[in-house]
Each structure stands twice: as C-alpha cells, then as structure tokens.
Amino acid sequence: MEQILKSVETGDFVGGQGLLTREQQRQFIVLLKRYSSMFGAVRTVVMPQASMDINKLHIGEPITVSVAENTNPAQDNKVLVNQVHLDAKKTRSSYDITTEVLQQSPEGDEFEMTVMRAMAARAALDLESLALLGDQALTPAANDKMGNLLGGNDGWLKLAGSGHVLDLGGAEVEPGIFSEMLRMLPRQYRGDPGLRFIVGETLTIDWQDTLQGRATPLGDAALGAMGPSLAPYGKRFLVVPIIPDDMALTVFEPIAAIVKGVAYGPFQILVGVNDRLTINVNGGGALVCTFATDGAVGSVLETRQIVEQLRAFFATNGVAAVAFDDGFGQLVIKTTAKGAATSIAITGAGGARDASGTLGLTDGVVNVSVAGSDTSGVVREGTFIMLTNPRNLMWGVLDGTRMFTEFNKDFDRIETVVFNQTDAQIENPDALVLGLNLRRKRHVSSSQP
C-alpha cells in the first residue's frame, strides 16, 4: 500500500503519463480489496482490454448412466459453453489539497499521505457501490453525486433480477425468509460450502433482535457478536455495510412525510451566503433556521452538527419533525406524525442565504415538497438479501489505471486524479436468489430513522 501511495505522491509512473506499472496495478487492486467488504470475496478479473468475453461452462444434466456389461450406451454428453461479457466503463476520482491545509496540519509532510489513504478508502467504497448498486437507467439530478456515480454500470443488484427473485412484500426478517430462499436455489447449488447470505448491517442487527427474544441458548448467544452459530441454516452472512436500508418500499398503512438530501456532509456553511434553511412542516407556515458557525465568515459543519441545530430549532418552534443522519452523512428530515395531514416543504431554493442546495435538499432545479398518506405510500425502509457464492459475482477492472498528481500554481494546491474502468457481472444467475422488498424493523421512537 505504501508503495502505491508514494507513487501517487511522487508522480513516479511509466513515461510520466500516469499509467501504473503491472506491479503498481496489482497493489492498487489489493488496496481496493483492503478497503472494501466485497472485492476481497468476489471474483476479480483483471481485464487486458475494456471489452472482453469470458467463457462459462454448463454441465447441468447428469453425465453418468448405469450400463450393462459389454455395452456402449447411446448417450452423447456435451459440455455447453457460452460467455459472460464484461464492458468496463470509465470512472474518475479526484481531490485537491491547498497549501494552507498542508501548512496548518500538525502532521506536516505526512498529512498528504494521510489524505491519500482516505482518498483510496473513499474510491474503494465508490467502486464497490457502483459494482453492487449500479443502474444505467438512473436519471439523477446534477447535484446527486451518488446517483451520477451509480448511473455508469448495471451492478449485481440489478443483474440479479435475471436470477431467482423472491418478493418479500415488506416483511420483516424472520427464519422463514432464509428457508424460502434456500428452497428457491436449484438443488445442485445448495451443497456449495461457499454459499453466503449477502446482507447489510441493519439486517444482521434485526436478525440478532429476532433471536434475542428466544429463551434458548441461541437467544443468549445473539446478545453477543454475530458468529457462525447464528448463521441461518449454516449459511453464514457476508455483511456489506453499503447495502442500503432506506430503499423505496410501498406499504399499505399510514406513512409520514420524509425528505432526504443527496449531498454528503460535512457541509461548507458561509455566513450571509448559505446559512439558512426555509422549511414548512404540516402546513404550519414557513420558518427559517439560521445555522450557527464557528467564525464570522463560516465553517465546515458535519451532518451531526446540522442535525443538532435542526432538532433544537424544531423543539424551540414546536415543529413536529425530526432530523437525523442516514449513517453515510446525508441529511434526513421526517415528520413525527403519520398520515395525509403531514407534509414537508423545503422552500427558498436559489434565494439569498439559502442552504437547501448545499444540503442536497433540492432536486437541482426546484424546491422540494412531499406529503404523507393515510392508507398507503412509499417508505424508505427497504433492503435486500442475496444468496449465492460470492465468487459467482464478477468484478472486472481494466489493467490500465491512470493516476495523475500535479501542483496547480494558479490555485496554489496539489491536485490528484485517478481514472479507472470497471464492470460488474454475474457468472451464473441460476446460482443466485435475490430477496427484495425486505423491511427493516421499525423503531419505537419517532426520533429515530
């Protein structure tokens, strides 16, 4: 890892063009696997060109027959071959470090290396998100950075739709879900010792909560760490933190109004520029929250600091809403009540001192307005499960990563850009079961997401 990071720092690349050597490319992939939950488990294909086919064998029927002595059975067994196509699409990762930041850091020259490690970790998370959640049909707003990332490729989640799909219809986690997924998996794959339930962290917590209610040794074990003894039917979990637990899910019950920003904290809030949020909850009238900063000019506020100020503002003004961090740094605001009488309107987009764009609470063009419902609607409480051998998931990365780092004298800063080309595929969709529309357990307190 140090070698590849120092290569970025010194610009020590082949021909000075930013192209990694074969050894640097290998170390770069190792670096991505180190910072990813999935890349170390799936099948990685280093692609010699941006578009390639990989042969896949099919032996799905019996090739062995019973025969009598001195008999040649009239059975011709052929190995069928088709191909998996990988088409790597380009991604760009970049960051800047100003001279002032380097001067003020107590780490001195080591601070740039610290930033590079953080950048590598973030790039791994981004590429993992693209491989798992990518969907080329997305049409995100210009200010939706995650949406614009995910629109590059179709990821494993979307590709899994060509396998065996179990629609859970908004059910919460229970043992019957795992058994039904196992029953849907064709028999020839059930004995694979590499089978895993690929799940998000929220589901593992919900599963522990479910088991803790049992007055048995298993229930006692669930109070501790998630171990092999808690694996459903002996198939262990592969826990992937980026699997969302706020996917859109249609339910038939009263729902609250909720808005979620597309921007990720921390946020640069400047006094007199973008320090106000205008919000109207349940039609009670527009109110203006002015964010406090550390200085006369402004400051960088983490999402939790924005949440703290909004909660205090709601409490002071009797607003029936709560703010929270989605766990990744995006801001969420939700009404504490449910039903058609609830609503949230974020107004003032583009106006003087408006912070809605900075916080990602506009669609890039207009103000946001949402309403709850008495009988049905969409809640952001959905997640999914995959059942497969992780090696069935293929991640292709072009053997040609390019890294460029240079000093920009006009802005007095160091700029680093990394170009990759990647793709995701499923080798055998028949050996995968996807459980969709699983609902996370609902929290007792309305102050929680």
Residue 215 lies in a domain: no
Query: Average pLDDT of the chain?
Result: 86
Q: Are residues 364 and 273 in the same domain?
A: yes
pLDDT per residue over 423-448, tens digit each? Answer: 999 999 999 999 999 999 875 444 45
Q: What domain range includes position 30? A: 2-59+78-154+391-428
Confidence of residue 10 (pLDDT cuts 50, 70, 90): very low
Q: Are residues 18 and 94 in the same domain?
A: yes
Above pLDDT 70, what percent of the chain? Answer: 87
Lowest average pLDDT, out of 60-69, 260-269, 302-311, 383-392, goes to 60-69
Q: What is the pTM of this model?
A: 0.82
Q: Are residues 400 and 286 in the same domain?
A: no
Q: Residues 366, 286: contact at Cβ < 8 Å?
A: no
Q: Are residues 142 and 259 in the same domain?
A: no
- On the question of pLDDT at 107 being above 80, the answer is no
Q: Are residues 150 and 6 in the same domain?
A: yes
pLDDT per residue over 149-160, tens digit each? Answer: 999 999 999 999
DSSP letter for each residue of 287-336: EEEEPP-SSSSEEEE-HHHHHHHHHHHHHHHT--EEEEE-SSS-EEEEES
Q: Are residues 48 and 102 in the same domain?
A: yes
Q: Are residues 20 and 144 in the same domain?
A: yes
What is the number of structural domains in the chain?
2
The domain that holds 355 is classified in CATH as: 3.30.70
pLDDT per residue over 323-381, tens digit each? Answer: 999 988 999 999 999 999 999 999 987 788 999 999 999 866 678 899 999 998 888 89
Q: What is the token pair recorded at 128? A: 């993992």
Q: Are residues 302 and 399 in the same domain?
A: no
- On the question of pLDDT at 183 being above 80, the answer is yes
The domain that holds 123 is classified in CATH as: 3.30.2400.10
How many other CB atoms sit within 10 Å of the CB of residue 135?
Answer: 16
- On the question of pLDDT at 78 being above 90, the answer is no
**Four-point Cα dihedral 269, 271, 272, 274, nearest 10:** 10
pLDDT for the residue numbered 318: 96
Q: Are residues 329 and 421 in the same domain?
A: no
Q: Are residues 330 and 395 in the same domain?
A: no
Residue 160 lies in a domain: no
Q: Are residues 118 and 10 in the same domain?
A: yes
- On the question of pLDDT at 306 being above 80, the answer is yes
Q: Are residues 318 and 371 in the same domain?
A: yes
Q: Using CA atoms, how far apart are residues 216 and 227, in angstroms rounded to an integer?
A: 16
Please report, as a single letter, which amino acid is at residue 364: G
Q: Which residue has the higher pLDDT, 43 or 117?
A: 43
